[in-house]
Amino acid sequence: MKIDSHHHFWQYDPVEYSWMNEQMGILKQNYGPEDLFKQIKNVGIEGVVSVQASQSLKETDQLLSYAEDHDFIKGVVGWFPLADSNVDSVLEQYASNRWLKGVRHVVQDEPDDRFILGSDFNRGVSLLKEFNLVYDILIFERQLAASIEFVDQHPDLVFVLDHVAKPRIKDALFEPWSAQMKDLSKRENVFCKLSGMATEANWKNWSLTDLQPYMETALACFGPDRMMFGSDWPVARLAVEYENWVEVCRNFISTLSTDEQIKIEGTNAVEVYKL
């Protein structure tokens, strides 16, 4: 089964999605299951993982409801108040929902680059394993060092790194990202999504040459056994349309063996998220 391991839905609201700035007009509309289904059926993708874009239980509930109603939605990575003292009871309320596969916090937007090491936050993260949930790491490159320390606090938890840690592709900066990715990849409980790179380049003027070294490094670090395709649709529309990103990724992995391509295009996501 071909899986898109990373996309979003939302009912656009300027307050709830205040991260959408004036350059992001294409995102300021509703994106629902019917819109995504049109995209995936054209490229042979059979299932998706829906990922939070708002830090609210309201949105988590909406994503779970969509999964209940649409067969092609195979799982949800939702948001929960991990740093709250009552997060265990909140998670217990959702524990029986078969569509909930993981949890994510928008760490990239936290003003403190070492937020991810906060004690209350880590107490919440430490509960995820008992609920059979994965944690998705959403960071910028500058937060990679702290994230390596974070992962080391939870050796028994499965992590998925979103968007290859958002390197500074627009600035053509390769270090310290490359060295830190190599370091992080030594932790075998960490997987990596081949996603979100075009939006870290120049939105209007990026080329495959800009992305190639970052894609190659991520693959060299994590290997075909620990990488998974993700579209980051509709956020990716700032720089690339769905079908084009699928083509970029399929061309990139085309030199791998058929088995390795199958892992990146679906098997790894199925196994990691227990789809």
Give me the DSSP letters along 69-131: H-TTEEEEEE---TTSTTHHHHHHHHTT-TTEEEEEE-GGG-SSTTGGG-HHHHHHHHTGGGG
One-letter amino acid identity for 107? V
pLDDT, residue 154, reads 98
Contacts of 22 (CB under 8 A, 6+ apart): none
pLDDT tens, N- to C-terminus, the chain (275 residues): 999 999 999 999 999 999 999 999 999 999 999 999 999 999 999 999 999 999 999 999 999 999 999 999 999 999 999 999 999 999 999 999 999 999 999 999 999 999 999 999 999 999 999 999 999 999 999 999 999 999 999 999 999 999 999 999 999 999 999 999 999 999 999 999 999 999 999 999 999 999 999 999 999 999 999 999 999 999 999 999 999 999 999 999 999 999 999 999 999 999 999 99
pLDDT, residue 129, reads 97
Q: CB-based burial of residue 142 (10 Å sphere; 0-12 exposed, 13-18 middle, 19+ buried)?
A: middle
CB atoms near residue 153 (< 10 Å)? 12
* φ/ψ of residue 31, rounded to 5: -130, 115
Residue from 65, 127, 135 nearest 95 by CA: 127
Whether domain 3-273 has CATH 3.40.190.10:
no
pLDDT, residue 97, reads 98
Bridge partners (DSSP) listed for residue 3: 47
Sheet of strand 134-137, all strands in order from the earlier edge strand to the far edge: 3-7, 47-51, 73-78, 100-105, 134-137, 159-161, 190-194, 227-229
Q: Structure pTM?
A: 0.97
Contacts of 11 (CB under 8 A, 6+ apart): 30, 32, 62
3-state SS assignment for residue 28: coil
Q: Domain spans of the chain?
A: 3-273
